[in-house]
Amino acid sequence: MAAPGRQPPAAALVIAGGRGTRLWPLSRGGHPKPLFSLDGRETLLESTIRRLSPLIPAERTFVVAAADQTPRFRRTLRGLLPARNLIAEPVGRGTAVAIAYGAAVIRKRIGAATLAVLPADHHVHPAEGLRRTLARALRLARQRAAIVVIGVKPERAEPGYGYQEVGAAVDGGFAVRRFVEKPEARAAARMVRSGRFLWNAGMFVMTTATLEDELAAHAPDLADAFRRFASMPAVERARFYSRLNFDSFDRVVIEKSRRVLGVKARFRWYDVGSWDGLWAALRAGERNVFSGSVVALDCDGVLARADRRLMVLLGVEDLVAVDTGDAVLIARRSRSQELRRVFDELARRRLSRYL
């Protein structure tokens, strides 16, 4: 527990839920996207945790994941985090509920804390740049009793991302004038040209006290749940949890709060939760990214992953081609953010074996 008069210690809450629909057919119920590996050596989740140290030590780093996937996550986290730092979410209810639940467990375990909430499926480098950015965000969150978001300088006009408009400077950070979620392509291009907008990296830093205050202001029922979660018996908590119905943390709190500040990222950021993001993260200056037995002629801007069969591509561009043995995806890479439509259509057709 933090001593009286001292600033609450830093802790990390890594969100490892979600179905990974934008990486279908590779990401499915039995293969969650945080357990992907970009380099063949460690998963995205492991990389996320390792890059936090020494700023936030392992004993104060927690992972929240769906209960039905915890055996897979527990194997991955063995030796990396204390086993009790894997928090099992009874059922998926979106990021607002996951953050409230994870924060409640952390507060019960270590007392008041300053939380860095991070997705498990993003790729950033260098790690030192992330730690410097988080250190600034942690200070700002404590000093200003604010929710601090991290903004990344955009490399292109990406309509599939959220944006934040930079306002007046505040103690090494800035006031956020507004958020724009997934703008149309022309609007995204205008925002990037203006130089006033940053990509919203989906990272939040705040004290547990600030989180409780903002939930009370914008989602009173969730604030009540936050106060009750940690003391409930497991069976009662699972029943209670399943009745919660809230949107994302961005919608429930961030877009409504008047206590949001931002800091600019000192790192490069890739959302590898989509095929387009994976292409950007892996291409290392090249125009094409291939995995497996792929032969490509006169191709440009292509991400291709073959399974056991040979894949041949001729004269195509801006393409994703993925073969998993039982399913094949062919899609325009620039529209890979829309893959939720594919997931929904397969569900409508009752093709659950592919989900």
Confidence tier at 3 by pLDDT (50, 70, 90): very low
- The percent of residues in the chain predicted with pLDDT above 70, rounded, is 97
Q: How many domains does the chain have?
A: 2
Are the CB atoms for 269 and 122 separated by under 8 Å?
Answer: yes
Q: In residues, how long is the chain?
A: 355
| 349 located within any domain | no
Decide if 203 contacts 74 (C-beta within 8 A). Answer: no
Domain boundary among 244, 274, 304: 274
Which CATH number characterizes residue 49's domain? Answer: 3.90.550.10
Q: What is the pLDDT of residues 126-150, one digit of tens each?
A: 999 999 999 999 999 999 999 999 9
Rounded Cα distance between 146 and 45, Å, is 27
- In contact, 202 and 248? CB cutoff 8 Å: no
pLDDT band with cut points at 50, 70 and 90 for residue 2: very low
Q: Do 152 and 133 meet the contact criterion of CB atoms below 8 Å apart?
A: no
CB 272 within 8 A of CB 47: no
Whether the per-residue pLDDT at 1 is higher than 60: the answer is: no
pLDDT of residue 178: 94
- Does residue 347 sit within a domain? no
**Residue 99: how many other CB atoms lie within 10 Å:** 25
> Would 2 be classed as within a structural domain?
no
Q: Where are the beta strands (DSSP E) in 212-336?
A: 260-264, 268-271, 289-291, 294-297, 300-305, 311-314, 317-323, 328-332
- pLDDT tens digits, one per residue of 163-181: 999 999 999 999 999 999 9
- Give pLDDT tens digits for 258-313: 999 999 999 999 888 788 888 988 887 899 999 999 999 999 999 999 988 999 99
Assigned domain for 194 exists: yes
Structural tokens at position 45:
């989740």
According to DSSP, the β-strands at 122-125 and 268-271 are: antiparallel
CB atoms within 10 A of CB 296: 18
163 & 284 share domain: no
Q: What is this structure's pTM?
A: 0.88
Query: Does 314 lie in the same domain as 252?
Result: no
What are the tokens at 265?
């990222």
Cβ atoms of 248 and 95 within 8 Å: the answer is yes
Residues 238 and 289 in one domain: no
AA identity, residue 91: V
- pLDDT tens digits for 218-257? 999 999 999 999 888 888 888 899 899 899 999 999 999 9
Assigned domain for 81 exists: yes
Last residue of a domain, one of 255, 274, 293: 274
Q: Residue 193: which of 163, 157, 167, 159 has the closest Cα?
A: 157
> 281 and 327 share a domain?
yes
* 87 in the same domain as 29: yes
What per-residue confidence (pLDDT) applies to 19? 65
Strand partners, 305: 291, 322
Q: Are residues 258 and 123 in the same domain?
A: yes
**In a shared domain, residues 183 and 303:** no
Q: How many CB atoms lie within 10 A of CB 136?
A: 19
Q: Tell me how many degrees the CA angle 127-131-133 measures, rounded to the nearest 5.
A: 115
Residue range(s) defining the domain that contains residue 253: 10-274
Same domain, 146 and 25: yes
Would you say residue 178 lies in a domain?
Answer: yes
DSSP, residue by residue, 138-176: HHHHHHHT-EEEEEE--SS--TTSEEEEEEEEETTEEEE
- Asked if 241 contacts 226 with a C-beta cutoff of 8 angstroms, the reply is no
> Please, which pLDDT band fits residue 36 given cuts at 50, 70 and 90?
confident
The answer to whether residues 282 and 229 belong to one domain is no
Q: Report phi then psi at 38, rounded to 5.
A: -85, -30
Whether 238 and 174 share a structural domain = yes
Locus of tokens 């106060």 = 227
**Residue 215 domain-assigned?**
yes
Among 187, 186, 343, 336, which Cα is nearest to 272's? 336
Q: Are residues 230 and 149 in the same domain?
A: yes
- Do 42 and 112 share a structural domain? yes
Q: Is 199:158 a contact under the CB 8 Å cutoff?
A: yes
* Separation between Cα atoms, residue 316 and residue 313, nearest integer Å: 7
In a domain, 173, yes or no: yes
176-190 burial by CB neighbour count: b if 16+ within 10 A, else e?
beebeeebeeeebee
Q: What's the rounded Cα separation, in Å, for the pair 222 and 257?
A: 15
